[in-house]
Chain A
Amino acid sequence: MVAPDPAAPFWQMEGISKRYGGVTALEDVAFACRRGRIHAILGENGAGKSTLIKIMSGVVQPDSGTMRLEGAPVSFATPAEAMRHGVVCIFQELSLIPDLSVADNLGIVDPPRRFGFIDQRAQRRRAEELLARVGCDDVHPRELVRNLPLSRRQMVEIAGALGRSPKMLILDEATSALTAADVEKIYGILRRLREEGLAILYISHRMHEIAALADDCSVFRNGRHIETFAKGAKTDNEIVELMIGREYRHVFPPKPARTAPAEPVLEIARLSWGDRLSDIDLTVRRGEIVGLGGLDGQGQRELLLALFGVLSGVEGEIKVAGQRVAVASPRRAKSPAIGMALIPEDRKTEGLMLPMSVRDNVSLAAIGKFTRGLLIDRSAELSQVDEMVRNLAIRTDSADAAVATLSGGNQQKVVIAKWLMTEARLILLNDPTRGIDVGTKQEIYQLLRRLADAGSAILLYTTDYDELIGCCDRVAILYDGRITRELSGDALTERNIMTSALNLPLDATVPTEARP
């Protein structure tokens, strides 16, 4: 490893504050990082990490404070300006333009030119070089970005960032959609860049990624920089405690011992959909939390959507509470006869109306409950909504506040609250704790177990192995659209999940590089 630069830190921030209306995003933050180091930034949602990154990359301006690059004071009015100074950021929401080709995207800022016009051929050669650097030669430069799968898009994004000759590279949850193999490639690239003397900032919620990569760690909480320490100086639990500010034990609510099997709420037989789902048989009983596991993109999302009536052309048999049903639409799925609920994948675009109030969002799916004749009974609505908000401990200034002002975890709680209002008997969850802070995750686990104990049936898709093992009574592993195995009880271990996910027999050895 290159010895750290002995002179002033490469990047320094002092007294940085940022307010959005009444909410303080950052309060008097001092932060520094050095060249040739990978510096991880940790914190719950709402801790200020995103705002910090946005300030560093020129997307927003701080209300006060100074920034220094190699000792000289700087301020970035636009992302373009930050990039000119060598500060390049890879955001969580991709900055690729879907209707342009890969080559155009990679050359978007400063394309090679001929007589003032864009030199398509030179641009394409540059794209091929950049793609080769990240090991993505299977991507055709003229392909439109919107036709690439998410993992390839993320790789293109990373390739593009490298192409801007960064002095400081910031990755904001940049590996969330990548396959395990791609993640290893990225690790390799980042380590090489570190050797070359780049300053690298890495935001991630995945502890093992931090453990594998980071030289230094900074923890943020409630808009303040709490502490920075070197790798190995603290245990995982200590780090999490710093992040949530209180004592923490990674504990899941206990699973009840099952005596006799309860009656089934959902019975799926021979479910198929195109080439994405084949011959799925699955049963979920009252009081059970069944998990869907396996590698990304094996059909788990499609299964949930198929059950909820979003997909057309679904074959096979679905029975709810013993009756055969045809779920033609989410409206039908929600109806009391079937009683399904779906907490969708992307809360911002699929679960919430961000500018509308918490109250309006919570009551949207169950308005029928407060309707007398044609009109809504406002007082009944208000009291029931407020009670739900209290029950789920949704933290907000007021129930009339726009949902956009809530933190990610609380937003997700609003989505869950919305569906709990419908008193569904079967709750489907599509990766509900992705991008959610540790504290809220705990609350959600408790909630799910409470709901199951009260008689609901729960089908949970999650990419977090700890969750699969800790929350679920049974886990069905999907591979290529089929269920390869169901695990429960003592067989429900990480190793078994992994082997099933790779479609290997249970006693096979698991290659270590495949760890997500």
Chain B
Amino acid sequence: MQAILKSIDRPVLVAFGFLIAMLLAGSIYSTNFLSGQYLMQQLQVASFLGIVATGAMIVILPGHIDLSVPWVITVGGMMSTAAVGWWGTTGVIVALPFAVACGAAIGIINGLGVAYLRIPSMIFTLGMNAVAQGLMVLHTGGFAPADEASPFMRWLAVKRSFLDIPNTAFVWLIVGGLLVLALRRTPFGRYVYAIGNRERATYLSGVDTRRVLILCFAASGACSALAGVMLAGYSAKAYQAMGDPYLLPAIAAVVLGGTNILGGSGTYLGTVAGVLLITLLQSILSVMQMPEAGRQVIYGVVIIAMLMVYGRGAKRAA
């Protein structure tokens, strides 16, 4: 039991270790790094990535990937603001569920393509990303689209209600909590890991792997859309390509947290560590006023360095 716990937690421990090291390194540069104000702000920003990474993880665990994240985020943002514009007060109430439902719907289509048509997820979600983009271009072009965020959305994304902890962090907590519950305590969670290990054996054990996969992709779409709603609240409006900066960092966060990119193993705690790590890294680089060029290079180098520490494959032995 001990040995297995240790092996699962090692990437998480390393990730958290790096996190603390970075905070300390940053604090040498400026004491602000350890202030509550700064940390809370990081938490707020990290929550957006955290929700996207949750969706990414739920698809990576069974051995797939969701490349439609960028434009589903935009769909989430635009559909929520559109609901506000189209349906007045009802719109304000249903904006969030409506947008999340749109994301889930796209996710279901992804799931159908991957699970029923057996098209590799990398390809199908790529195509769906393009389709989602096309839909949004259609939606925003030609007429002034309603793109104002509702006060509720703004409250959710910007305000802090409790102990000065950002509301977004609570949303992340709820979403993450649901995922952890699903993964550890439901049959669905077992099947997700089993499919990631070997779908063939899971199928032969009498599991409806197709339904499980559709659910995974639907959840991923819902998470992406939710992040979009909150991003729209944060900026008070929805805009094109708002989701582009989130895809690669989300995948990186999941992998840095110890989840195997090919599926079958990984814990949510690791993903949380990965999200915090990446957010902090990006923030430190921006505070240091490092030009974008340098930031990108350091970002890439740090990821490789961390993976070298614990993400390496086994030495070849048959």
Residues of A at under 8 Å CB distance from B? Answer: 54, 59-60, 308, 310, 329-331, 333-335, 342, 344, 349-357, 360, 363-365, 367-368, 371, 374-376, 378, 398, 400, 418, 422
Q: Could you jot down 16 A-B contacts, CB within 8 Å?
A: A59-B317, A308-B204, A310-B204, A330-B204, A349-B198, A351-B201, A352-B198, A353-B194, A353-B198, A353-B202, A356-B194, A360-B193, A367-B190, A375-B185, A378-B185, A400-B1
**Across the interface, do A376 and B207 meet the contact criterion of CB distance under 8 Å?**
no
**Across the interface, do A365 and B197 meet the contact criterion of CB distance under 8 Å?**
no
Q: How far is the CB of A421 from chain B (nearest CB, A)?
A: 11
Interface core residue of B4, B201, B203, B207 (most chain A CB under 10 Å): B201
Bound-complex Cα distance A367 to B193 (A): 14
Identity of the chain A residue whose Cβ is nearest the Cβ of B197 in the assembled complex: A353
**Across the interface, do A400 and B204 meet the contact criterion of CB distance under 8 Å?**
no
Bound-complex Cα distance A376 to B182 (A): 10
Bound-complex Cα distance A223 to B185 (A): 40
**Across the interface, do A334 and B206 meet the contact criterion of CB distance under 8 Å?**
yes
Bound-complex Cα distance A360 to B198 (A): 13
CB neighbours of A374 from chain B (8 A): 186
B200 in contact (CB, < 8 A): yes
Q: How far is the CB of B115 from chain A (nearest CB, A)?
A: 13
**Across the interface, do A354 and B194 meet the contact criterion of CB distance under 8 Å?**
no
B291-318: which residues lie under 8 A (CB-CB) from chain A? 317-318
CB neighbours of A355 from chain B (8 A): 197, 264-265
Bound-complex Cα distance A368 to B265 (A): 22
Q: How far is the CB of A423 from chain B (nearest CB, A)?
A: 13
**Across the interface, do A364 and B200 meet the contact criterion of CB distance under 8 Å?**
no
Bound-complex Cα distance A119 to B145 (A): 65
Q: How far is the CB of B103 from chain A (nearest CB, A)?
A: 22
**Across the interface, do B187 and A367 meet the contact criterion of CB distance under 8 Å?**
yes
CB neighbours of A350 from chain B (8 A): 200-201, 204
**Across the interface, do A365 and B205 meet the contact criterion of CB distance under 8 Å?**
yes
CB neighbours of B317 from chain A (8 A): 59-60
CB neighbours of B204 from chain A (8 A): 308, 310, 330, 342, 344, 350-351
Bound-complex Cα distance A344 to B204 (A): 8
**Across the interface, do A376 and B185 meet the contact criterion of CB distance under 8 Å?**
yes
CB neighbours of B194 from chain A (8 A): 353, 356, 360, 364
CB neighbours of B206 from chain A (8 A): 330-331, 333-335, 365, 422
B208 in contact (CB, < 8 A): yes
Identity of the chain A residue whose Cβ is nearest the Cβ of B193 in the assembled complex: A356
B179-191 interface code vs A (CB 8 A; 1 in, 0 out): 0010001110010
- B186, B203, B318: which contacts A376 (Cβ < 8 A)? B186
**Across the interface, do B203 and A356 meet the contact criterion of CB distance under 8 Å?**
no
CB neighbours of B181 from chain A (8 A): 375
Q: How far is the CB of A57 from chain B (nearest CB, A)?
A: 10
Identity of the chain A residue whose Cβ is nearest the Cβ of B264 in the assembled complex: A355
Residues of B at under 8 Å CB distance from A? Answer: 1, 4, 181, 185-187, 190, 193-194, 197-198, 200-208, 264-265, 317-318
CB neighbours of A330 from chain B (8 A): 203-207
CB neighbours of B201 from chain A (8 A): 344, 349-353
Q: How far is the CB of A348 from chain B (nearest CB, A)?
A: 9
Majority secondary structure, A binding face = mixed
CB neighbours of B193 from chain A (8 A): 353, 356, 360
Bound-complex Cα distance A308 to B317 (A): 36
- A59, A329, A360: which contacts B190 (Cβ < 8 A)? A360
CB neighbours of B190 from chain A (8 A): 360, 363-364, 367, 376
**Across the interface, do A60 and B203 meet the contact criterion of CB distance under 8 Å?**
no
Given contacts A344-B204, A364-B205, 16 further A-B contacts (CB under 8 A): A54-B318, A59-B317, A330-B207, A331-B208, A350-B204, A351-B204, A352-B198, A353-B264, A355-B197, A355-B264, A357-B4, A364-B207, A365-B207, A371-B186, A374-B186, A375-B181
Identity of the chain A residue whose Cβ is nearest the Cβ of B190 in the assembled complex: A367
Identity of the chain A residue whose Cβ is nearest the Cβ of B4 in the assembled complex: A400
CB neighbours of A364 from chain B (8 A): 190, 194, 202, 205, 207
CB neighbours of A418 from chain B (8 A): 205
| A59-B318, A330-B204, A418-B205 known; A354 vs B197 contact (CB < 8 Å) | yes
**Across the interface, do B205 and A371 meet the contact criterion of CB distance under 8 Å?**
no
Bound-complex Cα distance A148 to B207 (A): 31
Q: How far is the CB of A9 from chain B (nearest CB, A)?
A: 27
* 4 shortest interchain CB distances as A-B pairs: A334-B206, A353-B197, A367-B187, A365-B205
Q: How far is the CB of B170 from chain A (nearest CB, A)?
A: 23
Identity of the chain B residue whose Cβ is nearest the Cβ of A353 in the assembled complex: B197
CB neighbours of A376 from chain B (8 A): 185-187, 190
Identity of the chain B residue whose Cβ is nearest the Cβ of A374 in the assembled complex: B186
CB neighbours of A54 from chain B (8 A): 318
**Across the interface, do B207 and A331 meet the contact criterion of CB distance under 8 Å?**
yes
CB neighbours of A351 from chain B (8 A): 201, 204
CB neighbours of A344 from chain B (8 A): 201, 204
CB neighbours of B205 from chain A (8 A): 330, 334, 364-365, 418
Bound-complex Cα distance A333 to B206 (A): 7
CB neighbours of B197 from chain A (8 A): 353-356
Identity of the chain B residue whose Cβ is nearest the Cβ of A95 in the assembled complex: B318
Bound-complex Cα distance A300 to B201 (A): 20
Q: How far is the CB of B19 from chain A (nearest CB, A)?
A: 27
Bound-complex Cα distance A333 to B265 (A): 29
Identity of the chain B residue whose Cβ is nearest the Cβ of A360 in the assembled complex: B190
| A351-B204, A353-B198, A356-B194 known; A368 vs B187 contact (CB < 8 Å) | yes
Q: How far is the CB of A382 from chain B (nearest CB, A)?
A: 12
Identity of the chain B residue whose Cβ is nearest the Cβ of A21 in the assembled complex: B3
Bound-complex Cα distance A390 to B207 (A): 25
Bound-complex Cα distance A368 to B188 (A): 11
- A310, A333, A398: which contacts B1 (Cβ < 8 A)? A398
Bound-complex Cα distance A371 to B202 (A): 18
Bound-complex Cα distance A355 to B7 (A): 13
Bound-complex Cα distance A359 to B253 (A): 30
Bound-complex Cα distance A351 to B194 (A): 11
Bound-complex Cα distance A351 to B190 (A): 16
Bound-complex Cα distance A308 to B204 (A): 9
Identity of the chain A residue whose Cβ is nearest the Cβ of B317 in the assembled complex: A60
CB neighbours of B203 from chain A (8 A): 330
Identity of the chain A residue whose Cβ is nearest the Cβ of B182 in the assembled complex: A374
Q: How far is the CB of B117 from chain A (nearest CB, A)?
A: 15
Q: How far is the CB of A95 from chain B (nearest CB, A)?
A: 9
Bound-complex Cα distance A350 to B206 (A): 12
Identity of the chain A residue whose Cβ is nearest the Cβ of B185 in the assembled complex: A375
Bound-complex Cα distance A395 to B197 (A): 23
Q: How far is the CB of A427 from chain B (nearest CB, A)?
A: 13
